């Protein structure tokens, strides 16, 4: 077991978590997260499902370029997750994989992933927003520690625990007394220790990280967070387009906005840029957001 108190140990544990075990042809098992309790983090399920799909396409010489996932049930940290991969299509340029994530005989997530043989083509992209560099910003962890006494006890441990990915928000939000703000946020992030050189692993870590901040964007105009009394949140779906290769142990900028919320749901969009300005991924997610009286 890795020493979870070190940066290297935290990242090693994350990579082990996402490295699904093959138990039969196109059948994989994802282990439980270390110290996890309650509901499984959605990014973990997406990343493990992507790894299972990538395993089934590794021999075809194609690279994952998009995934579309629907969450059906909350996963439990009490049990591992079984991933069944279905090879729906294998073409010369593209391949499609369907992944069903199961716990205790029940599907908790369906995901379709598309793979492409690398080729050249027409090129353009959005410009990266002009924001302060990560070295000029405080980490989200340090910001939370500074208000630890204000965080309700039942949320304190999950908010303050050390994490394998560091986030540095451009405009920090106040967790216990948030004020309404525009539904836009920018945040730098990277793994806290080297991830290695396997591009498939970096894609999996990116999928994991892409679910960490996005849903909170649609709550910004309403002055609430997921620890606000009466707030209920859950990811309903998640789509990720992988445009360019990138290292997740180097700084990446996640820029997010929310164009709409209503009927107990919120729509969120994201773009992820490398520090050199390349647009490496686009993200979209709709989430459940209820405020109960």
The residues assigned a catalytic role are 211, 235, 285
The full length of the chain comes to 293
Tell me the DSSP string of 126-169.
PPPP----GGGS--HHHHHHHTGGGS-HHHHHHHHS--SEEEEE
Beta strands 81-90; 27-30: pairing state: antiparallel
Tell me the DSSP string of 182-211.
-SEEEEEEEESS---S-HHHHHHHHHHHHT
Q: Residue 123 and residue 66: Cα distance in Å, rounded?
A: 18
217 and 256 Cβ atoms separated by less than 8 Å: yes
Tell me the DSSP string of 3-23.
-TTSHHHHHHHHHHHHSPEEE
Asked whether the CA dihedral 178, 224, 173, 259 is positive or negative, the reply is: negative
95 and 57 Cβ atoms separated by less than 8 Å: yes
Q: Residue 25 and residue 192: Cα distance in Å, rounded?
A: 34
CA atoms within 13 A on the CB side of 180: 2
Beta strands 279-291; 265-274: pairing state: antiparallel
First to last CA, the chain: 44
């Amino acid at each position: 077991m890795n020493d979870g108190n070190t940066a290297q140990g935290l990242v090693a544990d994350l990579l082990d978590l996402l490295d699904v075990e093959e138990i039969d042809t196109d059948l994989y098992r994802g282990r439980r997260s270390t110290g996890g309790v309650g509901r499984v983090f959605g990014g973990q399920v997406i990343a493990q499902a992507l790894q299972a799909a990538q395993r089934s396409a590794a021999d075809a010489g194609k690279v994952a370029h998009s995934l579309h996932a629907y969450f059906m049930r909350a996963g439990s940290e009490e049990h591992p997750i079984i991933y069944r991969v279905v090879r729906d299509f294998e073409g010369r340029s593209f391949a499609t994989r369907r992944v069903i994530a199961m716990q205790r005989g029940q599907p908790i997530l369906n995901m379709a992933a598309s793979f492409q043989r690398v080729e050249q083509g027409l090129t353009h992209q959005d410009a990266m927003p002009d924001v302060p560099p990560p070295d000029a910003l405080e980490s989200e962890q340090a910001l939370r520690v500074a208000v630890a006494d204000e965080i309700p006890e039942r949320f304190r441990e999950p908010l303050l625990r050390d994490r394998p990915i560091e986030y540095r928000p451009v405009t920090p939000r106040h967790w216990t007394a948030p004020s309404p703000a525009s539904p836009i946020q920018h945040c730098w992030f990277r793994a806290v220790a080297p991830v290695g050189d396997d591009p498939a692993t970096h894609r999996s870590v990116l999928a994991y990280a892409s679910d960490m901040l996005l849903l909170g964007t649609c709550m910004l105009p309403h002055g609430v967070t997921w620890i606000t009394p009466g707030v209920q949140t859950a990811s309903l779906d998640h789509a990720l387009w992988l445009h360019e290769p990138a290292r997740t142990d180097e700084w990446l900028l996640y820029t997010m906005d929310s164009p709409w919320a209503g009927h107990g749901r919120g729509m969120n969009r994201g773009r992820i840029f490398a520090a050199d300005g390349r647009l490496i991924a686009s993200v979209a997610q709709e989430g459940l957001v209820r405020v109960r009286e």
